[in-house]
Amino acid sequence: MDIALPYAPAFHPSSERTPRMVTERAFLTLDDIQVRYGDAVAVDHIDLEIKAGEFVALLGPSGCGKTTLLRVIAGFVRANGGAVRLDGVDISTLTPEARRIGMVFQNYALFPHMTVADNIAYGLRAHRAPKESITSKVREMLDVVRMNGYEKRLPRQLSGGQQQRVALARALAISPRLLLLDEPLGALDKNLREEMQSELLRIQRELGITTIMVTHDQEEAMGMADRIAVLNAGQVMQFGTASEIYDAPATPFVSGFVGNSTFLDGVLGRGEGEHWTLRTSGGVELRFQSAGPCRRVGAARIALRPEQIELCDDGAAAVVRYARPMGPSTRVGVTLDDGTELQIAAPRERGADNLPAGARVQVRINPRAVCPVFLP
């Protein structure tokens, strides 16, 4: 028999609420979650603890297991192993309806024959809420998502962003304990997507609701989430803040997927002070600071981002392959004498736009840059 979670009070925006009400206690716990489809492993022994009021992004490439994991939390997919605990209660065997979790899908899933107000009220009616309560809650949700005056319109009379707001209002109307977003902005154009990112954050902060969002867009994840879980092949590669993941990636996959990295293999050696050296197989030597303690010298791989490499007068010799203006910087592709190809994000005011293909230059790793080191 399904055991319904106790009904929570409605969320009310408060001017006294801090920008992000994140507590230190684990509100959602995923304990050794496993999902298999025959011999294919979709989710491979995942453990996560998410705090109350936190905005978490599940980030990864297509097929990494992020949407499957979200559907396990929602109750649409039954895990082959492990447990889902919400506020200390094991909800693994509950139906989606009994979990009282709000979910917004990429395609919005609005009922085309229903008005905005009826779409928002759908979950409340399914829970047999009193009519007066439904009317009041619909009015409240229209105010939260700033859609007052649209209650009598049909979905086809709304823009993509407006439909997304209605879908969000419907998910929030049942006063969910947890909000799940399955690539909610994927169908919107760039400008509207950025506008809706701000709106989602505003609403999440006002309501203080614990939120999990699936996305493959690294900029979206890094700009919105308190913490990010980077997934690959059904496993969590790293779980941390945007700064932790970008500046100190735990694995080469994380470094390559989040941001633009070039990997250099070579022999690690001690340099001066906090600096180390990497000598490539072709004999090119580069100095850098390590993002973490280097346990030993020897074979290693370092990850370099374009903004960590710079043109200079006393570095490693290289040949320019191209120079392309890209907003405030110029993306310069160079080849070192040993054949290693690098990308440089050079400030445009330094004249990098004018570098012709074939020009001889010198490059170095910025002395202040901190680079991840991966040992075999």
Q: Which of 221, 254, 287 is the last residue of a domain?
A: 254
Residue segments in the chain with a per-residue pLDDT below the cut of 50: 1-19
Q: Which of 193, 225, 254 is the last residue of a domain?
A: 254
> How crowded is the C-beta side of 42, counted as CA atoms within 13 Å?
19
pTM for this prediction = 0.86
User: Which range of residues forms the domain containing residue 323?
Assistant: 260-374
Do 211 and 323 fall within a single domain?
Answer: no
Q: What CATH number is attached to the domain comprising 227?
A: 3.40.50.300
What's the structural domain count of the chain? 2
Do 213 and 266 fall within a single domain?
Answer: no
pLDDT the model gives residue 241 = 96
pLDDT the model gives residue 333 = 96
Radius of gyration in angstroms for the set of CA atoms belonging to the chain, rounded to a whole number: 25
pLDDT the model gives residue 22 = 58
Do 249 and 295 fall within a single domain?
Answer: no
**Which residues partner with 269 through β-bridges?**
277
pLDDT the model gives residue 294 = 65
In the DSSP assignment, the letter for residue 94 is S
Domain contains 130: no
Domain contains 156: no
Do 295 and 338 fall within a single domain?
Answer: yes
pLDDT the model gives residue 215 = 94
pLDDT the model gives residue 285 = 87
pLDDT the model gives residue 8 = 34
Do 186 and 89 fall within a single domain?
Answer: yes
pLDDT the model gives residue 288 = 86
Do 193 and 96 fall within a single domain?
Answer: yes
The token duo for 103 is 């979910």
Do 219 and 320 fall within a single domain?
Answer: no
Q: What CATH number is attached to the domain comprising 370?
A: 2.40.50.100
